[in-house]
């Protein structure tokens, strides 16, 4: 049996190319930064996040259920900016994938189970479309 060449890499975005999108550590940091009750926030998150990840509700609706179900001394935009700022690149991994793609003429597929707005932000902010050929995302 002859060896078949590898033609495509399937990669996760969160935890591989970039930091996770909105994990428990990030939510804990948000609770500290915005003086929120983390236990309440986390419980509300777990009741709603799957629906957001699947694209059935928007980020605004998710935030209405998790954060803005009561008046807050900060704005929705401030909170979103904090959420998005948690995303950071794993630059050595991005460079490795770019090099492998070029050297072996690979197709690159990225999978993601993050919500729509966060997914779109991360693809644009870190220019993932420059080297990823297609995206498979739970939110679309």
pLDDT attached to residue 53: 92
For residues 82-94, average pLDDT: 98
CATH number of the domain located at residue range(s) 8-19+90-137 in this protein? 3.40.50.1000
For residues 114-125, average pLDDT: 96
Fold of the CATH domain 24-85: DNA polymerase; domain 1 (1.10.150)
Where does the pLDDT of residue 38 fall: very low under 50, low under 70, confident under 90, or very high at 90 and above? Answer: very high
Q: Dig out the tokens for 37 from the structure.
A: 């009750």
Residues of the chain with CATH 3.40.50.1000: 8-19+90-137
Residues of the chain with CATH 1.10.150.240: 24-85
Burial class (CB in 10 A: 0-12, 13-18, 19+), 53: buried
Picking from 127, 126, 117, 116, the residue whose alpha carbon sits closest to that of residue 54 is 116
């Amino acid at each position: 049996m002859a060896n078949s060449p590898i033609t495509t890499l399937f990669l996760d975005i969160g935890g591989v190319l970039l930091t996770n999108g909105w994990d428990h550590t990030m939510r804990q940091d948000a609770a500290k930064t915005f003086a929120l009750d983390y236990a309440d926030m986390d419980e509300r998150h777990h009741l709603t996040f799957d629906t957001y990840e699947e694209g059935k509700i928007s980020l605004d609706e998710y935030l209405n259920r998790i954060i803005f179900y009561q008046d807050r001394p900060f704005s929705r935009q401030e909170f979103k900016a904090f959420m998005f700022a948690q995303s950071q690149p794993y630059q050595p991994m991005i460079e490795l994938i770019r090099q492998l793609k070029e050297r072996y003429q690979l197709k690159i597929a990225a999978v993601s189970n993050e919500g729509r707005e966060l997914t779109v932000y991360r693809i644009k902010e870190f220019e993932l479309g420059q080297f990823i050929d297609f995206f498979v995302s739970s939110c679309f």
